[in-house]
Amino acid sequence: MIKSDAQRERTAAQIEGFRQALAKVDREMTGKRAATVRGSYEGMIRQLEEELREYGDLKSGELTFPDVERLDQIAPFVAKMRIAKGVSQTELARRLGVSKQVVSRYEETEYQTVAISRLQEILDAIGIKTLVRLKA
Amino acid sequence: MTAFWTAGIEDIFIDGSFCSEKPDPGDVDEYWVEPDDGVYDRVDPYWIDFEMVLVPQVRKWKWRMWADHGVEFFIHPAYAGKT
């Protein structure tokens, strides 16, 4: 998943790299080898393009907020919510009073290492309201 | 891995979230280095099937090997540079 504009640029460059590699496959490979390597590169391009599209959708605020049944299901959505709210990693770090590297590390692990109290602080900093209902 | 070793592939590199600090890693990204251009006739076709399938759980198009096992084996055509 793309989590920042810098990653978006790197992903776009990767796509270009695979396109150039595809051209090289056409020039230098033949037969089953060419078809197989071509298939893998085309698959990679498609996946990377999907990631770009997802990031673009999130940046434009298109995100359906999930109803979750377990608190640990919230974590994977935090980065998406941050992007959809237009908050960069740098800005979130500023609001939390930590370095950008800390936020980057949180997101590399999809917030799985973050305690619930910290997760609430992060959601507050992003501007996400939470509604928790417990049932016996 | 046996499918690769028996096909004569000697170099496989592992990356992805299993190589990170993520406590609950989601998938494995690996790539194998092409030993020669005949390897595609020896390796199990399943592992060089790069057709995309829609994975409902993540609502994304992924390779079948990812849908079935959560792994992606990429090809590094190193042999191309030696010829």
Domain count, chain A: 2
Straight-line distance from the first to the last Cα atom of chain B, in angstroms, rounded to the nearest whole number:
27
pLDDT tens-digit profile of B4-59? 899 999 999 887 666 666 666 667 788 899 999 899 999 999 999 999 998 887 77
In a domain, A38, yes or no: yes
Q: In the structure, what pLDDT confidence band is assigned to residue A62 with cuts at 50, 70 and 90?
A: confident
- CB contacts of A32 in chain B (<8 Å) are 40-41
Q: In the structure, what pLDDT confidence band is assigned to residue A129 with cuts at 50, 70 and 90?
A: confident
Tell whether B48 is within 8 A of chain A (Cβ): yes
In a domain, A26, yes or no: yes
What H or E segment, with its residue span, contains residue B14? Answer: strand B12-15
Query: Other CB atoms closer than 10 Å to residue A128's CB: what's the count?
Result: 18
Q: Which SS3 state, helix, strand or coil, does residue B40 take?
A: helix
In a domain, A135, yes or no: no
**CB contact (8 A) between residue B37 and residue A33:** yes
Range of the domain at A122: 71-126
In a domain, A82, yes or no: yes
A55 and A77 in a common domain: no
A55 and A85 in a common domain: no
The average pLDDT across A63-76 equals 78
**CB contact (8 A) between residue A40 and residue B48:** yes
- CB contacts of B74 in chain A (<8 Å) are 40, 44
In a domain, A134, yes or no: no
In a domain, A131, yes or no: no
**CB contact (8 A) between residue A108 and residue B22:** yes
State yes or no: pLDDT of B83 exceeds 50. Answer: no
pLDDT recorded at residue B81:
46
DSSP string, A59-80: HTT--PPPP-SSGGGTHHHHHH
